[in-house]
Amino acid sequence: MEQLINDLKSQIKEALNLEELSLEEFDENAPLFGEEGIGLDSIDVLEIIVLLEKNYGIRLANPKDGRAIFQSVRTIAEHVQANRKK
């Protein structure tokens, strides 16, 4: 699980061009949205959806289903763990 979380952090940092966020300070429990957390927006979510399909074979047709999944890197990792196809 910890390995998966670390993989996801670097994949998200690269896909979303989070240039100024270091992997050390990227907290897997921090909320991904809003000013309290990482501060992602709606396009970033769509980009994470592409990333999950590309790297783990997980398809998420409706972004509305993603609300629970995209709370933090940890919730994404849990979803990947349970649903990955590759």
Partner 1 sequence: MIYVLSTNITSPLGFTTEENHQAVLSGVSALKRQEGLWGLPEPFAASLFSEEQKAELAIEGYTFFEALAIRSIRKALTYTSLGNASSRIVLILSTTKGNIEALGEELYYPSKAAQRIAEAIGLNTKPIVVCNACVSGLSAQLLANHLLSANLYDYAIVVGAEVQSKFIVSGFQALKAVSEEPCRPFDIERNGLNPGEGAATIVFARTTSEESWCLLDGAVCNDAFHNVSPSPQGEGLTAAIETVMKGRDKSKLATVCVHGTATLYNDQMESKAIEKADLSDIPLSALKGYYGHTMGAAGVLETILTMRATDDGIVLPSKGFTEVGVSGKVSISEEPQPTNKTAFLKIMSGFGGCNVAALYEKTTDNSQRTTDKAKFLKTHTIKLSSEDGKTLTDIYKQQIGDYPKFYKMDLLTRLAFVASELLKKVSPREDFEGVTPVILFNHSSSIVADRQFLDTIKDAENFFPSPSVFVYTLPNITTSEIAIRHHLCGETSFYILPDKDEALMQQILEASLAGTDTPTAISGWVNAESETSYECELSMYNII
Nearer residue to partner 1 within complex by CB, 3 or 86: 86
CA 23 – CA 20 distance, rounded (Å):
10
Do you know the residue count of the chain? 86
CA 23 – CA 61 distance, rounded (Å):
29
The site string for partner 1 over 28-57 (x = CB under 8 A, - otherwise) reads: -------------xxxx-xx--x--xx---
Nearer residue to partner 1 within complex by CB, 2 or 20: 20
User: What counts of helices (H) and strands (E) characterise the chain?
Assistant: 3, 0
Would you tell me which residues interact with partner 1 (CB under 8 A)? 16-21, 41-44, 46-47, 50, 53-54, 62-63
